[in-house]
Amino acid sequence: MLVGPPGAGKGTQAARLSERLDAPHISTGDIFRENMKNETDLGKEAQRYVDAGDLVPDEVTVKMVKDRLAQPDAQEGFLLDGFPRNAAQARELEDVLSELGQRLDAVLVFEVDDEELVKRLTSRGRSDDTEETIRHRQEVYRSETEPLIEHYQDIAVRVDAVGSVEEITDRAMDALADEPDD
């Protein structure tokens, strides 16, 4: 699982780690965006929350993740990017994983200072990257998501996420290799 503030580069790194680890990259944000683009029921339901930088309701999000984790390609491992994002989702994830006979091996915590984050986000050009929603998503991260790190402290590994894309991938791989596999 990857965690870090909006703009920390989780999506970029998750895609690269997915290749190196040969495990699917499961990004709730990507799944929402794909559904919004195709104007599915799920997409229509998610749209206003995503546009506002709010979390999509847990019920909707958890069901989506549950379906995705049950797919054949996720049975040997997966990278979770952007989920869970609050305590209720973390509890639900535990239930889902135990039903599937799975568990989280590690939580990669991407660390970037605030100034760098704003710089990155304002140059990204995503439709939910206006200054106002960026600020709001950062607040949501600090209040809802960041406190989860403590919950996962036994399996949390910190990654300095400032540097070149390649450097950061190498750091993440090193951090995973150091994580004792019990």
Q: Where along the sequence are the contacts to ligand AMP (CB under 6 A)?
A: 6, 28-29, 32, 49-50, 53-56, 61, 82-83, 85, 89, 137
The reply to whether 142 sits in an annotated binding site is no
The reply to whether 135 sits in an annotated binding site is no
CA–CA dist 13, 1 (Å, integer): 12
CA–CA dist 162, 160 (Å, integer): 6
Smallest separation (angstroms) from ligand AMP to the CB of 132: 13
Our CB check for ligand AMP shows the closer of 54 and 167 to be 54
In order of 17, 23, 31, 111, the CA distances from 177 in angstroms are 13, 16, 29, 18
The reply to whether 56 sits in an annotated binding site is yes
CA–CA dist 166, 151 (Å, integer): 29
Q: What's the gap between Cα 97 and its chain centre?
A: 16
Which residues are known binding-site members for AMP?
Answer: 28, 33, 54-56, 82-85, 89, 126, 137
Which residues are known binding-site members?
Answer: 7-12, 28, 33, 54-56, 82-85, 89, 124, 126, 137, 163
Which residues are known binding-site members for ATP?
Answer: 7-12, 124, 163
